[in-house]
Amino acid sequence: MIGTATSPAPPVPSPPADPLVAYYRNVRQMNLTLAKDRYKQGFKVRTQEYIRGRGTLAIVDEEICMGCTHCFDNCAFESISMVDRKFALPEYSYTSRKAIIIEENCVGCEKCAIVCPVDAITMVTKHGFVVKDGRVVSTTAPPPPPPRPPTPTPVKLATLAPAPAPKAPTPAPSPPEPAEEPPEESGEEEGEGGDAP
Amino acid sequence: MMETEYGPGRTIPHPVMFRVLDAEADDTTIPEIKVEHKSEYAYYPGCVDYYDVEMQFSHMNYGDTNHGIIFDSSIKLLRAVGIQPMILDRSFMKCCGHDQLWQGKVDIFERMRDYNTKIIKMLGVKTLVTSCAEGYRTFRLDYKLDGVRVVHITTFLYERGLRIPPQPETAKRIRVAFQDPCRSGRQMPIDPVYEEPRELVKRVDNADLVELKTFRADAQCCGVAQMMYCNDKTKGLTRKRMDEATEVDADYLLTACPKCLTHFGCLHHENRWQPGEERYTYKVMDITQFLAERLPGDYPTGSNVDTKRKEPPLPGRRG
Amino acid sequence: MQIEYVKGKIMEGRQSGFPRQYGPERSDHQPGIPLFPQEATRDLVVTFILVAMMFFLSAFVTPFLGPARGPQLSELIVPDWYLLFSWGLLKVADIFPQFTIGQGTPLKTEFSAAFWGDLLSGIPVIFLLILPFIDRGREARPAKAPVRSAFGLAFLIAWIFTSSLYSIREVVAQRWVSPNGAALIPDFTMKWFFIIPPVLVGLTSYIALRRLGYQPMRRWLVPYVAGLAAIVVAQSAWILFDPAGLGVEARPFTVEIAIALGIIAVPTVAVAAAVLLAPESTARKVSTWAGALGLIGFLAFYGGVAYLDQPRALGWVLSVLWPNMNTLVLIPMFAVLTAWLGTRRPYSTYEYLLNECYQCGKCHTVCPVTKVEDDALGGLNLVYNTFKKQHDGVPLWTCLACDACSAVCPLDIQYSDYILEERAKVHARMAADGGQRE
C-alpha cells in the first residue's frame, strides 16, 4: 500500500529495449522465484513436524505467544481467539495480545502450529488418545469423556458428564460474529466421541 | 523462562525462513556463474526477497511492508547517479550470514563467508554496495574482503551526488524521521553511517528532517536484532520507538535496516486491528524506497514484479 | 561540506580509527596529589630520616664482623646470589673502552672497567628515578601498556638474568667443554647474551600484548619472523657450506650436524612462510605444529644419538650448537613463539577485557531490554549477569546486541563481541552434546 502511492502498481510486461533493464528485470524475477521455491521447500519440511490425525488438539504457550494473529487468520474453524494482555512496567506500559484455543472447535488440523513464527503452538493428544509408533490412536477402553480434558475425572459426576458437555464452555473472549461452521465442528466432535468405545 | 543454560530456549522466529537460509549454506560447491553485465560496482540485495516472501506468507502484512521494493529502489537510485551495477543475486550468492553469526551458529556463518568471499573475489568486484545495515556491517567487519570497498548505499549515493529533482508545487511538506540502525551506526568502529541518510533526506525539497527522541549513536534499538526473538518484550520496545515518532509528529519513519522495517511494519499494521484504534498515522518505509519514489521515471526492475501480490486486507477483518 | 564538518566535530581530538563515536572525549582528570612538589617533598623527608638512621647505626652501633677472609681460600670469588647481577655487570664492563681524561690535572677522570661497571649498575636506578617523568600515561596495568612492558621485560632479562649468568662465566667455561677441550659457551657468546635475548623478549612481548588487545599484528610479525628465519638459515648454511664454518675435527660428523641444523631451521622457515603467505588461522596452526614437532624432533634426535652410543658425535653436534646459542637456539624458539602469540585468536581472552569493568552502571541505564523485561524488577543487569553467568542464560539470549551499552561505556568495552563469543560457545557445546536441543 505504501509503495503504490507514486509508483505504478502493476508489473510492466512489455519487453524493455535496454538490455541492462532486461538484465535487472530478469535478475529480480529470478531472485523472487528462487526465494519462493526455496521457501516452499522449507515449508514442506515443516509440515512433518507435528503429530496429526483426529484426536489431536492445539495448545498455546502463553509465555511465548506474541499476538501476531497468524494462527487466527489461518484457522478455518474459528477455533482461535485473541485476548488482550496488559504489561505494566515501572517506566512503560503497553498492550499485547495472546491467542487462545477454543477447544470445542479445534479439529487438530495443525495449520496454526505450522504458521506460528515462534513455535508457541504445539499439538497434543486429546483425552483418550495416545501416540503409538508415530500415529495417534485411541485407547481401547476410555473413560467417559469429561467436559474438559484436563479436569481430573470426579467420582460421581463422571457419569453425568456427557449431558452438559455441548453447552457448557462458551469462552468469554470469543468474537461476536455470525458463526458459519459450528454444526460441522460439533459433528466432528461427536463422531470422535462415538468412535472411541 | 529459560529452563536450561543451553540455547535460546525457544525457537528463533520465522523457523521456515531460517531453515531455508541455513540449508543454503550446506552446499559450498561453486557453480558456473554467468553474469550478463559485468561491472566493478556490485550491488548485493541481501535477503530482501526472503523477507518479502515471509512477510507475504504471514499475510497479516500482505502488501503493507514491502521488502522487495528495496531492491528496485536501489537499482533505480544507483542508475540515477550513473552506476550500472552488477547484481550479486541469490542464484550464486548466499546469505551474508549476519543472523547466523549473532545467533551463535558460527560454523554456518563461516561456511557462508568463505563461499561468498570466493565468489566476490572471482567476479572482480571493486566496490560492494549494500542497502542493508546488517550486510554493511557483516561485509565490512566480519568478512575479510581485502581490496573490496564495502559501502552502504546512502554513503555511496551521497558521494556520487544524488540529486532529487524539485517536487511538484502541489506536494505538501512532510516531516521525515530517520531511525538509525544499530548495525551501521553504533556498531561500526569505522565509517558509521549517521549523516549521509540525513543529508539525502534534506535534498528532498518538501521534506523536513525531524529527529526522534534518541538519535545517531544513542538511538534506541527497534527491538529486534538478528531475528533472535519476537515476543511481548520486543514488541514493547518497538512500540516505544514508534511512539517517539508519533511524538515528533512525523509523516514518514525511515530506516535503513530490513529488520527495523519488518518490525515497524508489523506493529504498524497490527495497530489497525480495530478501526479507530489507529495510533500510528505515519508511513514506515526504507530510505531507498523513499528516495526512489521522489525520482522521476520507472523502476528499471519493473517495480513490483510479483503479480500475485495483493492489497492488504482491511482493518478489522476476520480470519 | 556539512557532513565533513559534522564528522570532524565528532572525531575532534581523537585519533583516526578510534572506535568511539559517542559521548565526551576522555579526559585525564584524575584526582590525586601531584608528584612535584608535594609528593617529592614528603619523600625527601622520609629519605633523609632513613639516611640519618643508617648513619647513626653505623657510627654508634657497629657490630663486630670478625677477621676478613683471605682471597687465597677460593679460586672463584662470588658474592651472594642476589648480588650476582651487579658482579656480572662489573665483569662485562671490560668491553667498554678504557681511557683517562685530564691527565695531570685536578679534574683527572679515569674511565676504567670499574667506572663502567658502576655506571651499568646505576642505570636501572637512574631509569626508575626518571620513569615518572617519561611515562605520563594513565594505564597502570602492564598488560595494557605494551611498550612499557616490553622495555621492562627486556631490561629485567639483560640486567638481572643475563648479568647473573655472566658473573659465573668461569664456572660455565669449566663445566661445559667440547670434545677438543674448548669452552662450549665461550665468552663471546655470553657477551651477546646481553643483546640478543633482551631484544627478542622485548619484541615478542610487545607483539603478544598488542595482539591481546585485539590489534592485527601482521605488519610486525612478517618482518620480524622472516628476519629471524633468515638469520637461522644463513647461520646454518655458513656452518655447513663454508670451509671456515666447521672445524677439521668436527668434519666427520657433518651428517649429524646437518640433521640437527635441519631440525632447527625447518620449523622456523615453515613458520615464517606461513606468516608471510597464509591467512592467520593457518599460520596459527602451522606455528603450533612447528613448535611441537620441532621440540619433539630435537629431543628424539638428542636421545637417538645418545642411544646409538655415539657420545662423541653428540659432543661435536653440541660444540656447533652451543657456541651459536643465540642464533641457533634462542632465535628459532622465539620465532615460533612469536608467530604463535601474534596470530592467536584474542577471542579466548575476551574476559580479560571485560575485567576492566568498574561497574559504573551506565550500560544498565541505557539498556533497552531491562526496560521491558520482567526480570528487570528483580535486578536484571544484562552485562553484569551475563558476565557472572547468572539468570540461566536470560541475559545472554535476550540481549539485542544493539551496542547501546558499548556506546556509553567509559572504558570502551565492546560487550556485543562478548555476546558473539558466548553464543558461539553455547552452540558449540550443543553440537558436542549431539545436535540442536530444539
Whether the pLDDT of residue B61 is over 70: the answer is: no
Q: CB-based contact (8 Å) between A89 and chain C?
A: yes
Picking from B4, B141, B183, B221 by the largest number of C CB atoms within 10 A of its own CB, the best residue to mutate is: B221
- Tell me which H or E stretch contains C211: helix C196-212
C-alpha cell at B280: 500510528
Contacts of A67 in chain B (CB under 8 A): 232, 235, 270
In-domain check, residue B316: no
The answer to whether B177 and B245 have CB atoms below 8 angstroms apart is yes
Cross-chain CB nearest to C393 (options B5, B196, B199): B5
Q: CB-based contact (8 Å) between B106 and chain A?
A: no
Report how far residue B99's alpha carbon sits from residue B108's, in angstroms, rounded to the nearest whole number. 10
Q: CB-based contact (8 Å) between C376 and chain A?
A: yes
From C393, which residue of chain B is nearest by alpha-carbon distance?
B5
Contacts of B50 in chain A (CB under 8 A): 35, 38-39
Cis peptide before C37, with omega less than 30 degrees from 0? yes
Record: contact A8-B45, CB cut-off 8 A:
no
Question: Which tens digit of pLDDT belongs to each residue from C183-199?
Answer: 888 888 999 999 999 99
The answer to whether B264 and B48 have CB atoms below 8 angstroms apart is no
Q: Domain ends where: C315, C346, C377?
A: C346
Contacts of C369 in chain B (CB under 8 A): 233, 237
Record: contact B298-A12, CB cut-off 8 A:
yes
Between helix B195-202 and helix C2-10 the angle, nearest 10°, is: 150
On whether both B110 and B239 belong to a single domain, the answer is no
Within 10 angstroms of residue B152's Cβ, the number of other Cβ atoms is: 28
Record: contact A20-B84, CB cut-off 8 A:
yes
C-alpha cell at B300: 528499471
In-domain check, residue C181: yes
- Scanning C358-409, the segments in alpha helix (DSSP H) are 362-366, 369-372, 382-388, 394-398, 404-408
Cross-chain CB nearest to B45 (options A26, A31, A94): A31
Question: Which tens digit of pLDDT belongs to each residue from A96-131?
Answer: 788 899 988 888 888 888 888 888 898 888 887 888
Quote the pLDDT of residue A194.
37
Record: contact A28-B304, CB cut-off 8 A:
no
Query: Could you tell me the maximum CA-CA distance found in chain B, to the nearest angstrom?
Result: 62
Report how far residue C351's alpha carbon sits from residue C360's, in angstroms, rounded to the nearest whole number. 18
Closest CA to B194 of B211, B180, B209: B180
Q: Domain ends where: C152, C176, C211?
A: C211
The answer to whether A46 and B19 have CB atoms below 8 angstroms apart is yes
Stronger pLDDT, C266 or B214, i.e. the higher one: C266
On whether both B85 and B212 belong to a single domain, the answer is no
Q: CB-based contact (8 Å) between A91 and chain C?
A: yes
On whether both B139 and B77 belong to a single domain, the answer is yes
Picking from B37, B303, B311 by the largest number of A CB atoms within 10 A of its own CB, the best residue to mutate is: B303
On whether both B193 and B109 belong to a single domain, the answer is no
Whether the pLDDT of residue C24 is over 50: the answer is: no
CA dihedral B140, B141, B147, B148 (to 10 degrees): -20
Q: CB-based contact (8 Å) between A88 and chain C?
A: no
On whether both C282 and C206 belong to a single domain, the answer is no
Q: CB-based contact (8 Å) between A63 and chain C?
A: no
- Half-sphere exposure in the Cβ direction for B295 (13 Å, CA): 24
Question: Which tens digit of pLDDT belongs to each residue from C408-421?
Answer: 887 777 788 788 87
In-domain check, residue C367: yes
Report how far residue C123's alpha carbon sits from residue C118's, in angstroms, rounded to the nearest whole number. 9
Q: Among A4-8, B139-143, C264-268, C329-333, which is the least confidently predicted range?
A: A4-8
In-domain check, residue C19: no
In-domain check, residue C32: no
CA distance B9 to chain A (A): 11
Q: How do beta strands B174-179 and B252-255 pair? A: parallel
Whether the pLDDT of residue B7 is over 70: the answer is: no
In-domain check, residue C397: yes
Question: Which tens digit of pLDDT belongs to each residue from C143-183?
Answer: 778 888 999 999 999 888 999 999 988 888 888 888 888 88
Whether the pLDDT of residue B254 is over 60: the answer is: yes
From B305, which residue of chain A is nearest by alpha-carbon distance?
A11
On whether both C198 and C295 belong to a single domain, the answer is no
DSSP annotation of B44 reads: E
Question: What is the domain count for chain C?
Answer: 3
From B299, which residue of chain A is nearest by alpha-carbon distance?
A7
CA distance B149 to chain A (A): 22
- Half-sphere exposure in the Cβ direction for C268 (13 Å, CA): 27
The answer to whether B250 and B176 have CB atoms below 8 angstroms apart is yes
Residue by residue, DSSP assigns A50-118 as S--STTEEEEE-TTT-----HHHHH-SSS-EEEEEEEEE-SS-EEEEEEEEE-TTT-----HHHHH-TT
CA distance A171 to chain B (A): 17
Whether the pLDDT of residue B307 is over 70: the answer is: no
Closest CA to A97 of B66, B253, C215, B236: B236
On whether both B108 and B234 belong to a single domain, the answer is no
Question: What is the domain count for chain B?
Answer: 2
In which domain, by residue range, is B110 found? 17-26+35-161
> In the A/C pair of chains, how many CB contacts fall below 8 A?
10
Record: contact B232-A92, CB cut-off 8 A:
no
C-alpha cell at A155: 467420582
Stronger pLDDT, C314 or C438, i.e. the higher one: C314
Record: contact A87-C376, CB cut-off 8 A:
no
- Give percent helix, percent strand, percent coil of chain A, each to the nearest 5: 30, 20, 55
Q: Which amino acid is at B145?
A: L
C-alpha cell at B204: 528532498
Q: CB-based contact (8 Å) between A94 and chain B?
A: yes
Report how far residue B68's alpha carbon sits from residue B314's, in angstroms, rounded to the nearest whole number. 22
In-domain check, residue B83: yes
On whether both C342 and C354 belong to a single domain, the answer is no
Rounded to 5°, the CA angle A11-A14-A16 comes to 105
Record: contact A92-C376, CB cut-off 8 A:
no
Contacts of B319 in chain A (CB under 8 A): 69, 72-75, 78, 80
Whether the pLDDT of residue B3 is over 60: the answer is: no
In-domain check, residue B135: yes
In which domain, by residue range, is C305 found? 216-346
Report how far residue B119's alpha carbon sits from residue B111's, in angstroms, rounded to the nearest whole number. 13
Residue A2, Cα to own-chain centre: how many angstroms? 29
Within 10 angstroms of residue B304's Cβ, the number of other Cβ atoms is: 23
Quote the pLDDT of residue B289.
92
Report how far residue A71's alpha carbon sits from residue A173's, in angstroms, rounded to the nearest whole number. 16
Record: contact C372-B3, CB cut-off 8 A:
no
Report how far residue B291's alpha carbon sits from residue A134's, in angstroms, rounded to the nearest whole number. 54
Report how far residue C154's alpha carbon sits from residue C165's, in angstroms, rounded to the nearest whole number. 15
CA distance A24 to chain C (A): 32
On whether both C145 and C188 belong to a single domain, the answer is yes
In-domain check, residue C365: yes
Record: contact C371-A92, CB cut-off 8 A:
yes
Range 130-169 of B in CB contact (< 8 A) with A: none
The average pLDDT across B104-123 equals: 91
Report how far residue C177's alpha carbon sits from residue C197's, in angstroms, rounded to the nearest whole number. 23
Cα-flanking dihedrals φ and ψ of residue A105, to 5°?
-90, -20
Contacts of B69 in chain A (CB under 8 A): 3, 7
Report how far residue C208's alpha carbon sits from residue C340's, in angstroms, rounded to the nearest whole number. 9
Global ipTM: 0.86
CA distances from C314 to C189, C246, C253, C259 (A): 20, 15, 9, 12
CA C2, C6, C9, C12 torsion-angle sign: negative
Contacts of B20 in chain A (CB under 8 A): 38-39, 41-42
Q: How do beta strands C99-101 and B149-152 pair? A: unpaired
In-domain check, residue B9: no
Q: CB-based contact (8 Å) between B309 and chain A?
A: no
In-domain check, residue C36: no
Cross-chain CB nearest to B236 (options A26, A38, A87): A87
In-domain check, residue B119: yes
From B284, which residue of chain A is nearest by alpha-carbon distance?
A2
Whether the pLDDT of residue A154 is over 60: the answer is: no
Record: contact B195-C400, CB cut-off 8 A:
no
Chains that touch B (3 or more CB pairs under 8 A): A, C
Q: Which residue has the cell 554456518?
A: B108
In which band, very low, low, confident or very high, does the pLDDT at C275 lie, cut at 50, 70 and 90?
very high
Quote the pLDDT of residue A145.
65
Closest CA to B266 of B98, B103, B70, B58: B58
Record: contact C403-B1, CB cut-off 8 A:
no
CA distance B302 to chain C (A): 34
Quote the pLDDT of residue A178.
45
C-alpha cell at B110: 563461516
Q: CB-based contact (8 Å) between C429 and chain A?
A: no
Report how far residue A83's alpha carbon sits from residue B191's, in angstroms, rounded to the nearest whole number. 46
On whether both B62 and B184 belong to a single domain, the answer is no
Contacts of C376 in chain A (CB under 8 A): 89-90
Whether the pLDDT of residue B18 is over 90: the answer is: no
On whether both B154 and B215 belong to a single domain, the answer is no
On whether both B65 and B115 belong to a single domain, the answer is yes
Residue A140, Cα to own-chain centre: how many angstroms? 29
Record: contact A2-B289, CB cut-off 8 A:
yes
Residue C380, C-beta contacts closer than 8 angstroms, at least 6 positions apart: C370, C373, C391, C394, C395
Contacts of A175 in chain B (CB under 8 A): 318
In-domain check, residue B216: yes
Q: Among A24-38, B127-141, B143-157, B290-304, which is the least confidently predicted range?
A: B290-304
In-domain check, residue C155: yes
On whether both C383 and C360 belong to a single domain, the answer is yes
Range 98-127 of A in CB contact (< 8 A) with B: 115, 117-119
On whether both B124 and B231 belong to a single domain, the answer is no
Contacts of A47 in chain B (CB under 8 A): none
Whether the pLDDT of residue A171 is over 70: the answer is: no
Residue B240, Cα to own-chain centre: how many angstroms? 20
Question: Residue B204 maps to which CATH number?
Answer: 3.40.50
Report how far residue C105's alpha carbon sits from residue C419's, in angstroms, rounded to the nearest whole number. 75
CA distances from B76 to B153, B285, B301 (A): 12, 16, 8
The answer to whether C92 and C166 have CB atoms below 8 angstroms apart is yes
Q: Among A173-182, B173-182, C417-426, which is the least confidently predicted range?
A: A173-182
Rounded to 5°, the CA angle B94-B97-B101 comes to 160
Question: In DSSP terms, which residues pair with A59 in a beta bridge?
Answer: A122
Q: CB-based contact (8 Å) between B206 and chain A?
A: no
Q: CB-based contact (8 Å) between A14 and chain B?
A: no
